[in-house]
Structure 1
Amino acid sequence: MNLDVQAYNNSQSAEVQLICNLLAEQISFHLPEAESKIWHAHPVWFLEDNPIVGYSKQKPGIRLMFWSGKSFEEDKLNVLGGKFEDASIFYNSADEINSTDLKNWLQKAKAIQWDYKNIVKRKGVLERLK
């Protein structure tokens, strides 16, 4: 695991650490070609410099966010905004993580991508890559 991601996980409380470690392990396992790093203070995985998936600690729990998740058309993923293509799910316990769902979402994250890498260059306009 990326040392910066591990440091982020280690800085969390015990239960949150379990959630973060499990997510990081599963993301790295199912997206071995993805580069992980701390981006905007949170762990994020990238494919060809395009953000794909990441998580962050928020009041409702650990938010697992897929940058193109709205296009996955998954009922369990919440679409919070309307401007971008992101969708997420919150976890408060490692037991809440369904490994089958997570695997499916990670496969979709690889197959369905919107171009966030060039969003600034396109003045906020997203284009679908895959």
Structure 2
Amino acid sequence: MNKEIQEYNDSQNPEDKKICTILSSEIDAFLSEAESKIWHRHPVWFLDGNPVAGYSKLKDSVRLLFWSGQSFDEPELQNEGSFKAAEARYTSSDQINLQDLKRWLDKARNIQWDYKNIVKRKGVLIRLK
């Protein structure tokens, strides 16, 4: 696991640390070809330089974010922001459904919008996959 991500996980309270540890382990295992790093102070995984999945500690929960998640057609994911992102929020590690998570990660690999070039395209997203 990326050392900075481990430090991020370790800095959380005990329950949030469990959530973060499960998420990082599963994302690392499923997206083994992805680059992972702390980006904008949160763990994020990239495929070919494009952010696809990450999580962050919010005031009341841990948010799992998929940059292209609105295109996944998954009712358990809630729309986030004005682009194509969708999220799931957890307050307890036993809320994480590993089957759902693996299905979402598979979709994160296979359904992508081009966030890497969003600034160059002046906020316009194009579908990559």
- TM-score normalised over the length of structure 1: 0.98
**Distance across 2 between alignment mates of 1:116 and 1:80:** 15
Matches of 2:32 and 2:113, distance apart in 1? 20
Distance 2:80 2:111 in 1: 19
Gaps of 5+ in 2: none
Unpaired stretches in structure 1, ≥5 consecutive residues:
none
Q: Which stretch has the larger CA shift, 54-63 or 32-41?
A: 54-63
Equivalent residue letter for 2:115: Y
| Contact map agreement 1:60 1:90 (CA 8 A) in 2 | no
RMSD: 0.6
Q: What percent of counterpart residues are identical? A: 60
Report the counterpart of residue 86 of structure 1 in structure 2. 85
Match of 1:101 in 2: 100
Q: Which residue of 2 aligns with 1:111?
A: 110
1:59 Cα deviation from its structure 2 partner: 2.2
Shift of 1:2: 0.2
In the TM superposition, 1:1-130 aligns within 5 A as 1-81=1-81, 83-130=82-129
- Count of aligned pairs: 129
Q: Tell me the TM-score normalized by structure 2.
A: 0.98
Moved over 4 A (4+): none
1:74 CA drift (Å): 0.4
